[in-house]
Chain A
């Protein structure tokens, strides 16, 4: 019969319409519920899949790569607070396909010889093609790919060339966004510490690598290394939060707060917790999502 093909096709669209309404009725008022979201995003879903960005966001997988950032020791590390992991070996600058990494190698003021520390480190994130080579080929786990993809701004010159301060994040941040990978890398290094630090400790007759200091002594308030935190806090704070950091007196004595929190001038609900987006998370624990009911934004 002429037209039967069209009718058949209309049947398919009608089926989609019905399933969507069934979804809506079934999940009335629970649209943003984690469980519902999970169901809607799964392979089994038959109705609507739309994610209402920016109210809702899809979580990104651990391997997700956006722009790179540099790893430093935690600011509250007892032995090496805030020390750079980068040795300025230059491999990332050489492997970078669009050549958007600029590194000034540090020199020892006494001897004038190069020392394994970057004096300056720039990445032009507008040129960066997010390929991930720098992180892949860095021999010291010192550069990693960030998950924060909301970097739009009005001005290229002042905000899109990230300098060392802007690039540096504490290692606990990396552990929080990519726990599995961070653990794998730690195993490959043979311990928590940076490979060069491990060598130096061995030479000094110490145990090569300490266990992760945060994992050893969790959740007890300790005097904050305030001076360090203040001096370096804006460095580790993400750009988006920088204006806030300026507004809030950074000298607020946050108890043992990691730099990003200190920069915000907010006190974490528990010592050692860090802020991710609008929420606090415990970087040590396996992340448990806080369930939200309805639109409790």
Chain B
């Protein structure tokens, strides 16, 4: 653990200069206005990636995504953001451009295994073929899906108009229901030659293969179990939602595991590109619905970056933002620990203790933002409303006065008494339990190098001993002036991930204790320094904003063409990318441990599937 701010990498320009010298014809600056980084010739991309990783220390490929520039150059562009971990600093942004009709880009999975799922996602949604990818198939959509939905010329079934607001709503707004015009059954298209009758899900095929491979019940009198493929999920309480793990077993030991996801996919990003800039804020609530405040913050940071000096966030707004973000971290970790214990078999006692405490924080969110979980509280340039003077309700129910409390007094009691008490209680209940220790210690190992290579982030990365925390590595808001430690644990097993979350909650309480006096000092100061208009325009350009969310690095990559709607709106979802190493972590473990390992990663399917 370290208390000082990590050294900032300031030599990005010289790195770029050195790279251009190294690849004289293949690397050039991205000169479009509002853009950063370099454009790399796809032919040299793998070599380029190897050089920046091995010689320049950009060992962490945080985000891989694509943009369709239809009508703005008519090419597809793959955008990469690479960081140095754990030293931190600004990212090296590099891009590879390819033709829309024949989209081919070399895969970087061999250099950055963390690109695995992200490249599959880009293939799935944009139809970009990543040459050399070991397992290039659809990841969020199913095999019978026709088309690449994120391309700009793709129109979804309920398509009405390119961007919101729709003209049919006002002034001649005669109500209609989309499903009337597009009834179920007529809203699907299949690829050419695809018939539903012949369709056999990939999983089923593999399942049958697996059965046939090892077990010949009739032929083998000893009935030896050899190799078996088991589907865990999609409907299984341990998967925390609708998520499936296809597991190949030898006896009880896992040979390989493949996560299958997308059951909750709604193409959040396509919706986001139809939306106005403000319209996306409440949609971010629905990503990781446990941490909506933190999601709001990451999105606000991103758009504020693009707005430049048109907005300035007042100090009090920053204080409130950090207050909300840290309270969110506590709610998330309480939830994560509670449900990890559920997965381990301690059915709901620890979870309910944790949820009870979480509820007090949600009460505060409800009083301040109007909703417990779908907060929609941050605005571009500040926050929506100041804290209420009193947490109270006038609704004439039997318990009128339950929450008639001074807000500051409530926060004071919450932060100085209730939260530390609950965290200590969980510690006392769980940390030394021999059952938990024997289930968790040494299980689901993720060594530090592997965690970095797989682009793991958040508690998953730090429990493997990598002190990388975006609040310190690439600071935002008022974190630089707050004192807290980056928690790490050395072993990278389930127990360390559990214990790290306890530690992080204690650090959050420590931050909150520093926030309280700042809240008192700034009482009455402005909370919004942006544009008051209901539809803002964002200057043309791109931005990648990221924040240390409770589950890991939540990043938003946005491109604007200067209008009222984002041209590109991409979510770098920690729950999604943290699943990349799941298969590796489970290899050689017992099948019962899969559930615990998944629980210790802490995913939310709303964010994984988007």
Contact = CB atoms under 8 A, between A and B. Distances in A.
Nearest to B274: A99
A58 B278 contact: no
A51 B368 CA distance: 22
Nearest to A274: B396
A289 interface: yes
Interface in A58-104: 58-65, 88, 90-91, 93-97, 99, 101-104
Contacts, number: 206
B29 interface: no
A186 interface: no
B534 A43 contact: no
A3 interface: yes
Interface string A86-126: 00101101111101011111000000001000001010100
Contact of B356 (A44, A49, A177): A49
B425 interface: yes
Interface stretch (A32-40, A190-198, A211-219, A236-244): A32-40
B394 A62 contact: yes
B173 A120 contact: yes
Contacts of B399: 34, 37-38, 41, 56-59, 289
Contact of A41 (B165, B169, B402): B402
Contacts of B413: 43-44
Given A62-B392, A104-B174, A38 B428 contact: no
Contacts of A63: 366-370, 385, 388
B260 interface: no
Interface stretch (B57-65, B432-440, B474-482): B432-440
A215 to B, nearest CB: 16
Q: Which of A5, A93, A96 has the most CB of B within 10 A?
A: A5
A132 B437 contact: no
A133 B385 CA distance: 12
A289 B401 contact: yes
Contacts of B196: none
A289 B393 CA distance: 11
Interface stretch (A21-29, A248-256, A259-267, A275-283): A275-283
B394 A97 contact: no
Contact of A103 (B171, B359, B371, B436): B171
B392 A13 contact: no
A94 B170 contact: yes
B534 A93 contact: no
A113 B558 CA distance: 41
A114 B349 CA distance: 62
A145 B437 CA distance: 49
Contacts of A136: 384
B278 A133 contact: yes
Contact of A292 (B165, B368, B398): B398
B388 A61 contact: yes
A16 B410 contact: no
Contact of A56 (B286, B368, B398, B403): B398
Contacts of B175: 102, 120, 122, 124, 161
Contacts of A9: 428-430, 432-433
B394 A95 contact: no
B279 to A, nearest CB: 4
B395 interface: yes
B54 interface: no
A147 interface: yes
Interface residues of B, number: 68
Contact of A281 (B388, B396, B433): B396
Nearest to A15: B425
A57 B397 contact: yes
A137 B371 CA distance: 18
B518 interface: no
Nearest to B389: A180
A18 interface: no
B194 interface: no
A200 interface: no
Nearest to B426: A12
Contacts of A168: none
A161 B179 CA distance: 14
A130 B374 contact: yes
Nearest to B165: A94
B434 to A, nearest CB: 5
A6 B432 CA distance: 7
Contacts of A145: 370
A224 interface: no
Given A88-B171, A133-B278, A61 B428 contact: no
Q: Which of A2, A129, A131 has the most CB of B within 10 A?
A: A131
A288 B402 CA distance: 13
Contacts of B236: none
Contacts of A62: 388, 392-394
A201 to B, nearest CB: 27
Given A6-B435, A131-B374, A59 B393 contact: yes
B48 interface: no
Q: Which of A8, A43, A114 has the most CB of B within 10 A?
A: A43
A49 B414 contact: no
Contact of A279 (B166, B396, B410): B396
A49 B359 contact: yes
B535 interface: yes
A177 B393 CA distance: 8
Given A6-B433, A34-B398, A43 B418 contact: yes
Given A91-B534, A102-B173, A60 B393 contact: yes
Contacts of A57: 397-399
Interface in B245-268: none
Interface of A: 2-6, 8-9, 11-13, 16, 32, 34, 37-38, 41-44, 49, 56-65, 88, 90-91, 93-97, 99, 101-105, 114, 120, 122, 124, 129-133, 136-137, 145, 147, 157, 161, 176-180, 276-277, 279, 281, 287, 289, 292
4 shortest A-B CB distances, which residue pairs? A5-B432, A102-B173, A105-B171, A97-B279
Interface of B: 164-166, 168-175, 177, 275-276, 278-283, 286, 349, 353, 356, 359-360, 366-371, 374, 376, 384-385, 388, 391-403, 410, 413-414, 417-418, 425, 428-437, 534-535
Given A9-B432, A37-B399, 9 more contacts: A6-B433, A12-B429, A34-B398, A88-B171, A95-B276, A97-B164, A97-B275, A99-B164, A104-B174
